[in-house]
Amino acid sequence: MFDPQTYSQRRQKLAESVGGGVVLLLGHSHSPMNYADNYYPFRQDSTFLYYIGLDQPDLAAVIDTDSGRTTVFGHPPTVDDVIWSGPQRSLNQLAQLTGADLAAPIRSLQRSLDRAKKQVRPVHFFRPCRAATGNWLTALLGPDAEGGVSGELIAAIVAQRLIKEPQEVAEIESALEVTARMHIDAMRLAAPGIVEGVIAGHVESLAIAHGARLAYPCIFTRHGEVLHNHSYHHKLKAGDLVVHDSGASSRRHYASDITRTIPVSGPFNERQRTVYHAVLTALEGAMEQIRPGIRYRDIHLDAARSITCSLQQAGLMKGDLEESVAEGAHGLFFPHGLGHMMGLDVHDMENLGEDRVGYDTDTQRVNQFGLRSLRLGKFLESGHVLTVEPGCYFIEALIDQWQQQKRHERFINYAEVRRWCGLGGVRIEENVVVTPDGHRILGPPIPRSVEDVECACQTELN
Amino acid sequence: MFDPQTYSQRRQKLAESVGGGVVLLLGHSHSPMNYADNYYPFRQDSTFLYYIGLDQPDLAAVIDTDSGRTTVFGHPPTVDDVIWSGPQRSLNQLAQLTGADLAAPIRSLQRSLDRAKKQVRPVHFFRPCRAATGNWLTALLGPDAEGGVSGELIAAIVAQRLIKEPQEVAEIESALEVTARMHIDAMRLAAPGIVEGVIAGHVESLAIAHGARLAYPCIFTRHGEVLHNHSYHHKLKAGDLVVHDSGASSRRHYASDITRTIPVSGPFNERQRTVYHAVLTALEGAMEQIRPGIRYRDIHLDAARSITCSLQQAGLMKGDLEESVAEGAHGLFFPHGLGHMMGLDVHDMENLGEDRVGYDTDTQRVNQFGLRSLRLGKFLESGHVLTVEPGCYFIEALIDQWQQQKRHERFINYAEVRRWCGLGGVRIEENVVVTPDGHRILGPPIPRSVEDVECACQTELN
């Protein structure tokens, strides 16, 4: 946790933005794997973490925005809890840690909400992402909870959480210290004959050793063209290209999110180098432009332009560059967005609504293939933390579909594209904070240039 | 998966036991960590795995026990699924893998159930452990789903799953191959100055490398007296005793569950050796008795007798042995049960009801402290797979409570017990299958004797 003042101040700001009524924040319970007592590693709700910070299951908090008082609700610990789970903090101790005014047993939460409703004061809440928490909300608020969600509350939370405090950026950088080691180790371990899972397992062990977890399931695959590939059963072969997308959480649960593409045998072959260079050029061109006041969708489109230009040089694409980008022909190779906001969640606040985070009235989501997957389109501001992650893939199912539909034939050399199938995919990803006069790449450097990656891949892990 | 016949035969047997109506089996969906698309590693519902075997989210199956036909329901894959998640099997291919007769899109499941209800045929179901699946059940069956659960169905499932097929025992032994390496590596890695999480992370990496996961969260702690301790932040010190309780899943998701207690500096000190020897003697005495027709509660009580006897010799307990055990004085040191059933779940079928699995009309659960935590009390049968896991702990909060209440003063030397506080805890656990004429300890041997453990702890991992 941060110090109690951090949470008090965040709640005070929230109370001012929401303006009247009470805010109900529900924490997560344990999430069962196969039966109630065999649960996944606990992950608190991110908004609860942001405003309350207490990292244990079955808590709730009510912020009275009129009086400014916060009450933490929980189960008073029993001797049985101590026997099974070790020394427990009292509810008052928990309240002190977050700078709350009151602590109360969870059974009094219902009474507290009923009182607010009786006084005809609004109860602000949002729909939780977990069904168990959703059922709890419904039990507390009745049918109100089903449809109604407080738009003011979500807008206030999003506005506040999007601008990172310096201590939050420091947390993300602490996660990146671990993530750098994960990626450098993976480059050194990757070799013909090794099963992907051995390296994926090692990567996860480093996050656990650091006292945290991965921020999202690791991608480590010779089939990088499958964008969300979470299987690790292939044996690596000479000449393979591996997409490795993984990031540790910090101890306070801030995410990091880094991708590198690894040539298994050490040097890239010629086609691999061509594609790698195309993606790297797009990445570096995109990062250079990051500053307050620029629209991220424009940077995305510029990255698309950069990749299209490189693919034209390689004979994979053709025709007028601007028309090609405007019509979205590059979507065949780069079907996802350039990046997304990052913070306590790797896709920050995605549970509050992707469009509420990445778009606004000035910038609305566009429905073109590729562009519709762009999670962040709006103008950047100082304090935003985001990912930059261009990619280029050879996805046979998509190539089949487009070629059959004769889609973008003016811009794509399908015959040549076929020859490159089997290459897999390349993605390179960095995490960046927007500063008042530009940007800063977060975390320690991780090999990224062709030469540095090849060198790291030819070094063995000792 | 096993071959299609396995699943057909299992379903046929189930249909015969249930006798009439349709059986509804719901598979699990992904379980979100912090937002819907950032989910935990997928774990299928175990009963669904047992009868259907398909290991992917958002499936359902209906077994018509009258016609004997099984229908698998799922989402027909789209090109988008292929782009994001790789090559997909068609619903017909899924049905073939499990030997089902029909495949149908999930939207027709509601119609199928409505038809059965209209025909006044019983729909057999059980309450899922996950809230999301529970909500799905309620949406499908309406208010019926809330209270009603099919007692016949649960009894039939429990009776069938409790007797392991040879191929299931082989799966558990394949998990134990990995688990053995996890425990031997941990003994070699444990050394003063190492943070617990480094070893816990390594243990988890071995399970991932094997293409599976841990069957339950790893316990690796110098505070073994906290029975379910899932934190790994302590630095190991010379003289520490570490409880290490972890088990890999097999690729088909069968569990293993092994505990060893590790002297960090290599040799046990005198008190540690005394307690270790007490637990080891209880374990070996208990395993020797395992055979069909013996009540597991009697073996538990015999283990309690063995531990009490050892603690009397050490001066920690006193008084009449039989009276002491009958009154449950040993519960201060051994507050949990001797073991539980194991299979697809590490506590097999706990989500169907612990008492339906471990007790029956011949053996009812006893409410004495210690004994009430015994998950398995009933008569053993050939084909049962279970854990044997006696332990002995010095839990200060419990000692404080009992001493204040002057509980069992006739049997406990509280003054001497105080002197041993800080030792932590010892648990040793093996997995055993009941055979027609006795039992067999499953998996490869893992150092267990005082000498073997000390030797493994003094070997470094190369």
Does the pLDDT at position B461 exceed 80?
Answer: no
User: A interface mutation test: which of B26, B30, B35 has the most A CBs within 10 A?
Assistant: B35
A33, A46, A211: residue with CB nearest B233: A211
Does the pLDDT at position A78 exceed 70?
Answer: yes
3-state SS string for chain A: CCCHHHHHHHHHHHHHHHCCCEEEEECCCCCEEEECCEECCCCCCHHHHHHCCCCCCCCEEEEECCCCCEEEEECCCCHHHHHHHCCCCCHHHHHHHCCCCEEEEHHHHHHHHHHHHHCCCCEECCCCCCHHHHHHHHHHHCCHHHHCCCHHHHHHHHHHHHCCCHHHHHHHHHHHHHHHHHHHHHHHHCCCCCEHHHHHHHHHHHHHHCCCCECCCCEEECCCCCCCCCCCCCECCCCCEEEEEECECCCCCCCCCEEEEEECCCCCCHHHHHHHHHHHHHHHHHHHHCCCCCEHHHHHHHHHHHHHHHHHHCCCECCCHHHHHHHCHHHHCCCCCCCCECCCCCCCCHHHCHHHHHCECCECCCCCCCHHHCCCCCECCCCCEEEECCEEECCHHHHHHHHHCCCCCCCECHHHHHHHCCCCEEECEEEEEEECCEEEECCCCCCCCHHHHHHHHCCCCC
Does the pLDDT at position B462 exceed 90?
Answer: no
Q: Tell me: the pLDDT tens digits for B288-338?
A: 999 999 999 999 999 999 999 999 999 999 999 999 999 999 999 999 999
User: How many CA atoms does the CB half-sphere of B241 hold within 13 Å?
Assistant: 29
Q: Which residue of A has its CA nearest to B395?
A: A83
pLDDT at A336: 96
Question: What's the residue count for chain A?
Answer: 462
Q: How confident is the model at residue B243 (pLDDT cuts 50, 70, 90)?
A: very high
Contact B204 A200 (CB under 8 A): no
Q: Which residue of B has its CA nearest to A210?
A: B197
Contact A397 B82 (CB under 8 A): yes
| ipTM of the complex in this document | 0.95
Contact A198 B209 (CB under 8 A): yes
Contact A79 B233 (CB under 8 A): no
What is the helix (H) or strand (E) element at residue B97, kind and residue range? helix B91-97
Q: How many C-beta atoms lie closer than 10 Å to residue A273's C-beta?
A: 15
* Residue for token pair 């790994």: B232
Q: Tell me: the pLDDT tens digits for A213-235?
A: 999 999 999 999 998 888 899 99
* Residues of chain A positioned with their CB less than 8 A from the CB of B45: 34
**B392 strand-pairing partners:** B426
* Residues of chain B positioned with their CB less than 8 A from the CB of A205: 201-202, 204-205
Residue B431 tokens read as 């997995």
B208, B346, B351: residue with CB nearest A201: B208
- Compute the nearest-CA separation of B119 from chain A (Å): 32
- Which of the given ranges, A138-152, A301-315, B218-232, has the highest pLDDT on average? A301-315
Which residues lie below 8 Å from residue A375, measured CB to CB, with a gap of 6+? A337, A339, A340, A341, A347, A350, A354, A357, A358
Q: How confident is the model at residue B238 (pLDDT cuts 50, 70, 90)?
A: very high
- Compute the nearest-CA separation of A370 from chain B (Å): 12
Contact B223 A86 (CB under 8 A): yes
A79, A208, A347: residue with CB nearest B201: A208
Write the CA distances from A285 to A271, A278, A335, integer angstroms: 21, 11, 19
Q: Decide: A124 and A32 in contact? Cβ < 8 Å.
A: no
Which residues lie below 8 Å from residue B236, measured CB to CB, with a gap of 6+? B190, B191, B192, B193, B194, B195, B196, B222, B242, B264
Contact B205 A205 (CB under 8 A): yes
Q: How many CB pairs under 8 A join A and B?
A: 182
pLDDT at A166: 98
Mean pLDDT of A77-99: 93
- Compute the nearest-CA separation of B395 from chain A (Å): 7
B35, B204, B209: residue with CB nearest A347: B35
* Residues of chain B positioned with their CB less than 8 A from the CB of A228: 84-85
DSSP assignment of B157-185 equals HHHHHHS--HHHHHHHHHHHHHHHHHHHH
A40, A83, A210: residue with CB nearest B31: A40
Write the CA distances from A412 to A322, A324, A400, B258, integer angstroms: 14, 9, 13, 57
**Least confident window among A144-153, B266-275, B386-395:** A144-153
Q: Tell me: the pLDDT tens digits for B411-430?
A: 999 999 999 999 999 999 99
